[in-house]
């Protein structure tokens, strides 16, 4: 009756290195939204020194370029017909003024790499978080349902005669064949019973397809049951079965007993009907739904003249499932990973997405039947809107804004620093391309990544504005000096300083 | 004899086709980058993208990309830059002297 979650937990191992990094930070902070912001800031802090250095250098180079402009124009007129000499002279001029023409490639690639790192990290962790929620919900489900089940131990057959294991059933193959049944009751009052059952028949064929013999499919099962006030679920499982093969040489059918290995044992839960009814009757004194359920079951029973039909069985399992689903719902509502208006941060902020995914994030993780059983109480959450496109619009808007601001501040640098002033053209293209890429990311992937993109654009916007302010202050004096020098103006205090310097060098001589 | 050689040549050309297609796609992508996305700021001549393109053309996709990555790593703010042409295949190199 419980849901098997070993498969789901195994799919949790898919968390890669970057996902683990994101998980460590986000779970370390505690509040999910804050954790994402901290993760963003950490990534930004790593690149900040490079970014500021780059801006400083660009500014400096632009200043030098501005000073050289007149000389360059002169050169261009002088060597208008001779391009190679012009280039040579230009290079000499650059070297004299300490000007390196272009920036390097690595920093540009680095920013792209960091975007991929962040994307991969968030993607891997959001998948992990969605699956993890299902695993935790399944645990709650099982804990509640299995409260009503027999708490037995898994005994197993050993045909080779391994006796040292305490849980080995002391039976030989002949005993099983002969139909001898082993019973056992342990100290806790749990009783074990081995049965030798026939389940249908099988036709054995020879190579030409003629039926040689018709045999009965024989299986050996272990039934475990116990009695208690709340316990109405018993379970059983397959211990082993007979496999028939046709031996062509001896012209006879061979019979082999194949035991099930202890690790492959699969429990089948079954509701003990009389105990369940008495449990429901007792529960019905306080609980209205249990009373209604009991009445429904009794009605179906009288309609079938006392026979327990499949319909009645489904009613019983439905009641037990509803107990587990209620526990799963309670857990979900207490532990959902929301942020502001978004119900589930690991899905994108759109109305067509829902806080509880329509199916499991990893289709292999949990079967469709188990999924419906687990989320049967979460009907409202499956229909709810996850978000209202706010984060998507915000992330696109922030990107456009930060691109425009960078474009404005780098206008001059683009003119001087790139070949034929192509930087401006590229930047215009980027102004269109980057918001489109960010929009697609925000639509397709989790809201957590949208939050990352917004915070990251915001930080880069702030850095641009602050850098412009501070670097403007620093370079203003230098720019003033350069202008004065060009027009032959020298400041009185600067004259004096120069004279002092000269006198010092003279005295040393 | 000649026809056998021709057949063999044709067979190898068919085998090579997907690799050449992949190579072409990569070169197309780099050309798009050069025309639309690049800011034309590189310390070296030829630029990193041009270098990678030429390497992919002569050495194949895998080696070419590896060489391109190594070049981009060299093209950092600490290096001086200069002329650094893409390496040729050794048997196609033209030796002076």
Query: If contacts are CB pairs under 8 Å, which of residues 20-39 in chain B contact chain A?
Result: 36-39
pLDDT at position A115 is 81
Question: A269 with A152: CB under 8 angstroms?
Answer: no
Q: What is the largest CA-CA distance in chain A?
A: 126
Contact assignment for B42 to A417 by CB distance below 8 Å: no
d(CA A141, CA B25): 52
Please state, rounded to an integer, the average pLDDT across all residues of chain B: 87
**Cα–Cα nearest to A452, from A16, A132, A120:** A120
Angle at A181 between CA A177 and CA A184, to 5 degrees: 145
Could you tell me which chain A residue has the CA closest to the CA of B48?
A105
CA atoms A3, A6, A7, A10: torsion sign: positive
Residues A40-52 pLDDT 10s: 898 888 888 888 8
* Contact across the interface for A419 and B40, Cβ inside 8 Å: yes
Q: According to the model, what pLDDT value does residue B51 have?
A: 94
Q: Are A378 and A329 in contact (CB under 8 A)?
A: yes
Q: Which of A146, A172, A125, A144 is nearest to A17 (CA)?
A: A125
**B90 interfacial to chain A (CB closer than 8 Å):** no
Task: With both helix axes pointing from N to C terminus, report the angle between A390-409 and A447-486 in degrees, rounded to the nearest 10.
Answer: 10
Measured in whole angstroms, the distance separating CA A495 from the mean position of its chain's CA atoms is 67
pLDDT score of A364: 60
What's the rounded mean pLDDT across residues A398-419? 77
Contact at CB, A102 and B77, closer than 8 angstroms: no
CA distance A454 to A300: 59
Confidence grade of residue A363 (pLDDT, cut at 50, 70, 90): low
Q: Are A118 and A452 in contact (CB under 8 A)?
A: yes
Task: Specify the pLDDT at position A410.
Answer: 75
A105, A422, A427: residue with CB nearest B42: A105
CB-CB: which of B36, B37, B48 is closest to A105? B48
Q: What is the pLDDT of residue A244?
A: 85
Report which of residues A483 and B63 the model is more confident about.
B63
User: What is the model's pLDDT at position A324?
Assistant: 86
Which chain B residues are within 8 Å of A419, Cβ to Cβ? 40
User: What residues contact B16, with CB distance under 8 A and at least 6 apart?
Assistant: none
List of residues 6+ apart from B92 with CB closer than 8 A: none
Average pLDDT, integer, range A163-168: 67
Per-range mean pLDDT, top range of A64-78, A163-177, A314-328, A416-430: A314-328
Query: Is residue B33's pLDDT more than 60?
Result: yes
Task: Please judge whether B76 and A106 are an interchain contact, meaning their C-beta atoms are less than 8 angstroms apart.
Answer: yes
**Per-residue pLDDT band at B50 (split at 50, 70, 90):** very high
Residue A300 in contact with residue A312, Cβ under 8 Å? yes
Q: State the pLDDT at residue A119.
A: 84
CB of A301 within 8 A of CB of A312?
yes
* Alpha-carbon span A387 to A355, nearest angstrom: 9
- Cα end-to-end span (Å), chain B: 39
- pLDDT reading at A480 higher than 90: no
Q: What confidence score (pLDDT) does residue A280 get? A: 83
* Mean pLDDT of the A312-341 span: 85
Mean pLDDT on A231-247: 85
* Confidence (pLDDT) at B31: 94
Contacts of B41 in chain A (CB under 8 A): 102-105, 108, 417-418, 423
pLDDT tens digits along A88-99: 877 777 777 766
pLDDT at A165 over 70: no
Residue contact A108–B39, C-beta within 8 A: yes
More confident residue, B37 or A487: B37
Cβ–Cβ contact A397 with B under 8 A:
no
pLDDT tens-digit readout, A185-223: 888 888 888 888 888 888 888 777 788 788 888 888 888
Q: Residue B64: its pLDDT value, please?
A: 95
Is the model's pLDDT at A437 over the cut of 80? Answer: yes
Mapping DSSP onto H, E and C, the string for A279-292 reads HHHHHCCCCHHHHH
Report how far residue A439's alpha carbon sits from residue A460's, in angstroms, rounded to the nearest whole number: 18
Burial A399-421, CB ≥16 within 10 A → b, else e: bbebbebbbebbeebbebbbeee
For the cut 60, the answer to whether the pLDDT of residue A122 exceeds it is: yes
A residues 417-436 near B, CB within 8 Å? 417-420, 422-423, 426-427, 429-430, 433
- Please state whether B39 falls in left (phi above 0), alpha (psi between -120 and 50) or beta: alpha
**CA-wise closest residue to B45 among B93, B71, B81:** B81
| Whole-number Å distance between alpha carbons of A275 and B63 | 73
| A128 pLDDT above the threshold of 70 | yes
Alpha carbon A29 to its chain centroid, in Å, reads 18
Does pTM surpass 0.90? Answer: no
* A423/B48 touch (CB, cutoff 8 Å), yes or no: no
Q: Is residue B21 over pLDDT 90?
A: yes
Q: Which residue of A has its CA nearest to B73?
A: A106
Q: Which has the closest alpha carbon to A159: A149, A151, A167, A169?
A: A169
- Flag whether residue A411 sits within 8 Å of chain B, measured between CB atoms: no
**φ/ψ (deg, to 5) at A256:** -125, 140
Residue A8 has pLDDT above 60, yes or no: no
Chain-chain contact of B79 with A104 (C-beta, under 8 angstroms): yes
């Amino acid at each position: 009756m419980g849901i098997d979650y070993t498969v789901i937990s195994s799919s949790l191992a898919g968390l890669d290195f970057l996902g683990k990094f994101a998980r460590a930070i986000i779970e370390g902070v505690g509040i999910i939204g804050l954790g994402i912001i901290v993760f963003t800031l950490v990534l930004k802090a790593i690149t900040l020194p490079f970014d500021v250095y780059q801006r400083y250098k660009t500014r400096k180079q632009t200043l030098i370029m501005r000073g050289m402009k007149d000389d360059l124009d002169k050169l261009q007129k002088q060597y208008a017909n001779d391009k190679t000499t012009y280039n040579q002279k230009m290079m000499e001029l650059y070297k004299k003024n300490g000007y390196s023409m272009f920036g390097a490639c690595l920093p540009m690639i680095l920013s792209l790499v960091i975007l991929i790192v962040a994307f991969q990290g968030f993607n891997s962790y959001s998948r992990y978080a969605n699956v993890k929620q299902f695993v935790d919900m399944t645990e709650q489900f099982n804990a509640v349902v299995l409260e009503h089940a027999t708490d037995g131990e898994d005994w197993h057959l050993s045909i080779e005669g391994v006796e040292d294991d305490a849980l080995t059933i002391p039976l030989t193959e002949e005993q099983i064949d002969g139909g001898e049944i082993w019973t056992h009751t342990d100290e806790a009052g749990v009783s074990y019973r081995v049965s030798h059952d026939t389940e249908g028949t099988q036709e054995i064929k020879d190579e030409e397809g003629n039926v040689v013999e018709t045999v009965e499919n024989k299986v050996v099962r272990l039934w475990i049951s116990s009695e208690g006030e709340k316990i109405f679920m018993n379970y059983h499982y397959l211990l082993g079965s007979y496999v028939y093969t046709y031996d062509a040489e001896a012209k006879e059918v061979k019979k082999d007993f194949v035991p099930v290995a202890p690790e492959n044992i699969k429990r089948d839960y079954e509701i003990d009907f009389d105990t369940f009814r008495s449990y429901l009757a007792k529960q019905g004194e306080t609980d209205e739904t249990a009373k209604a359920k009991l009445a429904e079951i009794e009605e179906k029973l009288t309609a079938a003249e006392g026979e327990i039909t499949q319909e009645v069985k489904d009613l019983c399992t439905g009641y037990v499932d509803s107990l587990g689903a209620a526990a799963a719902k309670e857990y979900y509502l207490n532990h959902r990973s929301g942020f502001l208006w978004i119900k589930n941060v690991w899905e994108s902020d759109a109305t067509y997405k829902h806080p509880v995914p329509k199916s499991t994030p990893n289709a292999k993780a949990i079967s469709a039947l188990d999924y419906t059983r687990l989320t049967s109480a979460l009907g409202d959450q499956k229909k709810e809107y996850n978000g209202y496109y706010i984060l998507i619009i915000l992330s696109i808007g922030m990107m456009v804004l930060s691109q425009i601001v960078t474009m404005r501040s780098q206008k001059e640098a683009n003119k001087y620093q790139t070949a034929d002033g192509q930087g401006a053209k590229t930047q215009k293209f980027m102004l269109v391309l980057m918001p489109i890429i960010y929009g697609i990311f925000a639509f397709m992937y989790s809201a957590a990544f949208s939050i990352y993109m917004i915070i990251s654009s915001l930080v880069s916007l702030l850095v641009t504005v602050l850098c412009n302010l501070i670097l403007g202050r620093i370079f203003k004096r230098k720019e003033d000096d350069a202008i004065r020098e060009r027009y032959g103006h020298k400041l009185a205090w600067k004259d004096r300083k120069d004279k002092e310097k000269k006198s010092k060098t003279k005295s040393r001589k | 004899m000649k026809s056998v050689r021709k057949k063999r040549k044709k067979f190898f050309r068919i085998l090579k086709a997907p690799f050449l297609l992949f190579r072409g796609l990569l070169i197309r992508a780099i050309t798009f980058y050069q025309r639309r996305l690049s800011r034309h700021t590189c310390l070296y001549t030829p630029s990193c993208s041009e270098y990678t393109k030429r390497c992919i053309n002569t050495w194949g996709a895998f080696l070419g990309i590896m060489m391109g990555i190594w070049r981009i790593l060299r093209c950092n703010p600490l290096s001086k830059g200069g002329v650094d042409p893409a390496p040729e295949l050794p048997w196609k190199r033209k030796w002076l002297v």
